[in-house]
Amino acid sequence: MAPPNVATPRMRDPDERALVELERVSKSFDVSPPWLERTLQRAPRRALRAVDGVDLAIRRGETVALVGESGCGKSTLARIVVGLVDASGGVVRYDGSPLYGAGVAADAATLRRARASMQMIFQDPYASLNPRWRVGAIVAEPIVAADRSRSRASVAERVATLLEQVGLAAADRHKYPHQFSGGQRQRISIARALATAPALVVCDEPTSALDVSVQAQVLNLMADLKERRGLAYLFISHNLAVVHHIADRVLVMYLGRIVESAPRRALFAAARHPYTQMLLDAVPDPLRPKSRDAGDADGTGNGAPRLASELPDPLDVPAGCGFHPRCAFANARCRVETPVLLDVGDAHRVACHAVAEGRVAPRVAIPIAG
């Protein structure tokens, strides 16, 4: 069920220039066996294509949610945005200036300004904080890295202010991370991310390790900070109930590709891609009938065809549409031709031959509380 009392996001002007823009971004990892093993077995090199030609734009003050199963490339894409992982192809732009990508050589001043303006909150609040450092040093690190000329007193004052803004006490700067609960540790992570006054915060499943009540507190804090600071978020989550509450726009990712993109209300009102429909059908709904009939192959009571549950091997991505082995609507075209994102109206884009040919009807999402 959805966390309670999560603030509803405010839509931004769609004509605003993108703060961060990705154009045909891809990333491949070399996962080949060692040289000697390849030589003895006469095996070629192997590459895992984690991100495959993604286009993405995030405007100031906008929350873009990225959803998909584990292994689809969400976290890799997030790390490319903030520069923790180098892209194999394509271009990442910040405020119109190219930062990363093939053949891109941004100057040091541009990189420094962009990196200070893009921060990240990681999934595990227990692993993302150095257990040997006091909280004050953890939050102060990005402040000092961005401006080494600041006095110690100025840094301490800034740290105290940040801790208070995220609902902690200034005196907490003297404690170690192990002295805090999971929700408090994530607040420390948020304070660290805000230390350089960023315009964009990338959130890699920031609430998945927390219980529901603490999730609601952290999400409300993030929504409040967004309104007060005008922050933009790239929000990665498996929890579609959370996405329903916090996102302005939702992108659905499958095997490194964006397969559906739409404003939040449009996506939940009429999901178009069979994969998106499968994700929505997987959300527990106690009111959904459990009986099976001829038109209800998966027992959900909504007429959804049964779909395979396993993601294909990312080292052996199916030809054509990567989703076709799991899709009840796939035909011969789906097995040989890769679909591209097509506009189906109202800023809603879908990469699916079955949708383009009218073989899949829009699916109204199951009710999500809140």
- Looking at the structure, tell me whether residues 80 and 138 fall in a common domain: yes
362 falls within a domain: no
- Looking at the structure, tell me whether residues 242 and 265 fall in a common domain: no
- Looking at the structure, tell me whether residues 200 and 327 fall in a common domain: no
15 falls within a domain: no
- Closest by Cα among 91, 67, 72, 96 to 81: 91
Amino acid at 184: Q
List the CATH number of the domain containing 67: 3.40.50.300
The H-or-E segment that residue 216 falls in is helix 212-229
Q: Give the pLDDT confidence score for residue 235 in this predicted structure.
A: 95
- Looking at the structure, tell me whether residues 122 and 226 fall in a common domain: yes
How far is CA 126 from its chain centroid?
Answer: 20
Q: Per residue of the chain (370 residues), what is the pLDDT tens digit?
A: 444 444 444 444 444 679 999 999 999 999 888 888 888 888 888 888 999 999 999 999 999 999 998 888 999 999 999 989 999 999 999 988 888 887 777 888 888 888 889 999 998 888 889 999 999 999 999 999 888 888 999 999 999 999 999 989 999 999 999 999 988 999 999 999 999 999 999 999 888 877 777 888 888 889 998 998 899 999 998 888 889 888 999 999 999 999 999 999 999 989 999 999 988 888 776 666 554 443 444 444 444 555 556 778 788 888 999 999 999 899 999 999 999 999 998 899 999 999 999 888 887 765 555 5
- Looking at the structure, tell me whether residues 222 and 271 fall in a common domain: no
- Which residues are within 8 A (CB) of 139 and not within 5 positions of it... i.e. 6 or more apart? 159, 162, 163, 173, 188, 191, 192, 195
Q: Which two tokens stand for residue 4?
A: 């309670």
Q: Which two tokens stand for residue 278?
A: 């499968």
Cα Rg of the chain (Å, integer): 22
d(CA 280, CA 282): 5
- Looking at the structure, tell me whether residues 242 and 258 fall in a common domain: no
- Looking at the structure, tell me whether residues 133 and 242 fall in a common domain: yes
282 falls within a domain: yes
99 falls within a domain: yes
Let me know: does 46 contact 315? Beta carbons within 8 Å: yes
d(CA 65, CA 233): 8
Q: Give the pLDDT confidence score for residue 215 in this predicted structure.
A: 84
- The residue from 227, 247, 267 where one domain ends is 247
- Looking at the structure, tell me whether residues 240 and 263 fall in a common domain: no
Helix axes 182-194, 135-146, angle to 10 degrees: 20
Q: Which two tokens stand for residue 99?
A: 């930062």
89 falls within a domain: yes
2 falls within a domain: no
d(CA 112, CA 104): 15
pTM: 0.84
Q: Running DSSP on this structure, what letter comes out for residue 168?
A: -
What is Dmax (Cα atoms) for the chain?
72
Q: Measuring CA to CA, how many Å separate 314 from each of 102, 201, 338? A: 23, 28, 16
Strand partners, 64: 234, 249
Output the DSSP codes for 257-291.
Answer: EEEEEEEHHHHHHSB-SHHHHHHHHTS--TTS---
- The residue from 247, 269, 301 where one domain ends is 247
Q: Which domain holds residue 65?
A: 20-29+53-247
Sheet holding 342-345, edge to edge: 118-121, 200-204, 232-236, 63-67, 249-254, 257-263, 348-350, 342-345
Rounded to 5°, the CA angle 313-300-258 comes to 40
Let me know: does 186 contact 207? Beta carbons within 8 Å: yes
- Looking at the structure, tell me whether residues 218 and 82 fall in a common domain: yes
Per DSSP, the three-state class of 54 is strand
- Looking at the structure, tell me whether residues 229 and 281 fall in a common domain: no
- The residue from 204, 220, 247 where one domain ends is 247
Number of structural domains in the chain: 2
- Looking at the structure, tell me whether residues 276 and 229 fall in a common domain: no
Let me know: does 144 contact 129? Beta carbons within 8 Å: no
- Looking at the structure, tell me whether residues 187 and 297 fall in a common domain: no
69 falls within a domain: yes
Q: What is the dihedral of CA 45, 48, 53, 54, to 10 degrees?
A: -160
222 falls within a domain: yes
How far is CA 205 from its chain centroid?
Answer: 7
